[in-house]
Amino acid sequence: MDSTQLTTLTGVIDKKMNRQLKQYMDICARCAICKDACHQYVGTGDFKYLPARRAELIRQIYKKYFTKTGEFVPALYEARDPDENLLDELYDSTYACTGCRRCMYYCPFSIDTAWILSVAKAILIAAGKGNEMLGQLADAAIFKGDNAEMFNDVMVSGFEDIQEEVRAITGNPNSRVPVNKEGADILYVALAGAHSIRPAAVIFEEAGENWTISMFEAANYGFFYGDVEKARLITKRYIDEAKRLGVKEIVVPECGHAYRVAEFFYEAWSKEPMPFKISHILEKVDQYIKAGRITVDKGLIEGKVTYHDPCQLGRNGGKFEEPRDIVKAVTDNFVDLTPNRAEQWCCGGGGGIVAMEEFKDVRLASGIKKVEQLKASGASVLACPCENCRLQIEELNEIHELGLQVWQVIDLVVAAMPLKGTKPTHA
Amino acid sequence: MSDETKIDLELDLKGLLCPLPMVKVSQNIGNVPVGGVIRAVATDPGAMADIPAWAKSTGNEVLQAAKEGSEFVFLVKRVK
């Protein structure tokens, strides 16, 4: 590695260095409590997936270039240059991490390994070793934002088709999927797939909500990729749209990281106050049910139902009770997973890992704790408000023959609503 | 166009939810030669924006993006 590249990579750490990162670099006691908290380490037993080890790779560079002891006696203090070997190891450790932050929850010093790995991703990107697939997904999203007019007709046509499906479900020919509706109260930023629009539209329309659908998707692969500027641009697409339409509130779909990005990160990225109230779709649905704006019938869902807390919505987003209240409103046959809420096991599908084929083996192996939880619950239906989690759990469901139906929470709600039309099979 | 174009790889993406159709096309574009064509069939309407956007941003070319009944059929040419 030449001196220019070395300066670039150490400069990334220097730019990210603050008291928080310095504390994380200095404070790890190597107690290894995190080994029992990490689903990937538990599932694979592979040292490189030990949270403390993932962080240690950044710590080694830090010691070499930001401490005198590491600079002058590197062998004694385990200080290393960010050479090709270290970067290759860093790539596996970093992009395989789902960012669930369960290790942080159990760490006696609350070391945020996912935050340290955001520094690792910035280093890898600066070294030209960012994950190609995540980068492509991010660039495609930005391209859609920069060339919105190119996709307008196909998007509107797609929404019209979904509107027909919504009308078939509600049995109401006046049900709508409003597009570009100025003065709407809510901008619903769905996922790219129709499955996240159809049931939400049924619920919004039955609740009499004044809403409109976004032309953009809430998923943010710039966030997973680790490029703050790409992540900001992807989010900005619907922030600008919300400003143009004059809405009061942005509602994000059943997508863990989308909620966290909008609610917690965008302000810092854009360096300006978030001009809109950010809500998760399940907060709205919970309010509709409790306010009597939609009706649900507990007798329409068959079987024992359980609920998986997506890490970005639960442990990292603080939304534990609204989804449970919804599930309990649609069935008397609810059983929680053990452990749950902040201690919930990651399913192994977060952080964009489902899009990275190279990590398929570790991803599936790391799902073993979730499989054990699901088996122990005895449930036949799983409500799960995260796209990545559902993709992972559906694959685990098939491999381990769990016999589960894996539903979005809003699909469960629509299934429990007494509607005049024809109920769809979910998703 | 699909009747005249030589197809190098067929991808059945039916039932996959976005962005997985785009992901699968991206993962497989290296499996056809430069100038080669993937024919991909998806059922998620989001693919109608996702796959062309991916192609534009990666320098590849969508020769066709057409709705055929409930399916969306793409011809994607590897350019580089």
**DSSP-assigned letters across all residues of A374-386:** HHHHT-SEEE---
Summarised one tens digit per residue, pLDDT across range A266-275 is 999 999 999 9
Question: Which residues of chain B form beta strands (DSSP E)?
Answer: 9-13, 37-42, 61-68, 71-77
Is the domain spanning A3-130 CATH 1.10.1060? The answer is yes
Between helix A409-416 and helix A198-206 the angle, nearest 10°, is 50
pLDDT single digits (tens) A231-281? 999 999 999 999 999 999 999 999 999 999 999 999 999 999 999 999 999
Contact between chains at A133 and B23 (C-beta distance less than 8 A): yes
Cite the residue boundaries of each domain of chain A with CATH code 1.10.1060.
Answer: 3-130
Query: Does the structural domain B9-77 have CATH classification 3.30.110.40?
Result: yes
User: Which amino acid type is present at position A6?
Assistant: L
Measure CB to CB from residue B18 to each of A136, A142, A191 and give the nearest one. A191
- Fold topology of A295-416: Rossmann fold (3.40.50)
CB of B26 within 8 Å of a chain A CB? The answer is yes
- Residue B31, chain A, CB below 8 Å: the answer is no
Q: Is B52 on the interface with A (CB under 8 A)?
A: yes
ipTM summary value? 0.94
pLDDT tens for each residue of chain A, 427 residues long: 899 999 999 999 999 999 999 999 999 999 999 999 999 999 999 999 999 999 999 999 999 999 999 999 999 999 999 999 999 999 999 999 999 999 999 999 999 999 999 999 999 999 999 999 999 999 999 999 999 999 999 999 999 999 999 999 999 999 999 999 999 999 999 999 899 999 999 999 999 999 999 999 999 999 999 999 999 999 999 999 999 999 999 999 999 999 999 999 999 999 999 999 999 999 999 999 999 999 999 999 999 999 999 999 999 999 999 999 999 999 999 999 999 999 999 999 999 999 999 999 999 999 999 999 999 999 999 999 999 999 999 999 999 999 999 999 999 999 999 999 998 875 4
Burial track A109-147 (b if 16+ CB lie within 10 A, e otherwise): eebbbbbbbbbbbbbbbbbebbbebbbbbbbbbbbbbee
- The confidence score (pLDDT) of residue B44 equals 92
Of the candidates A327, A314, A312, the residue with the CA atom closest to the CA atom of residue A382: A327
**What are the backbone angles phi and psi of residue A243, rounded to the nearest 5°?**
-65, -45
A398 close to B (CB below 8 A): no
User: How many helices and strands, by DSSP H and E, does chain B display?
Assistant: 2, 4
Q: Give chain A's mean pLDDT.
A: 97
Please tell me the predicted confidence (pLDDT) of residue A426: 58
- How close A233 gets to chain B, by Cα (Å)? 15
The whole-number pLDDT of residue A427 equals 45
pLDDT tens for each residue of A306-360: 999 999 999 999 999 999 999 999 999 999 999 999 999 999 999 999 999 999 9
For an interface test with B, give the residue of A132, A143, A163 to mutate (most B CBs within 10 A): A143
Name every chain A residue with its beta carbon within 8 A of the beta carbon of B53: 140-141, 143-144, 147, 151
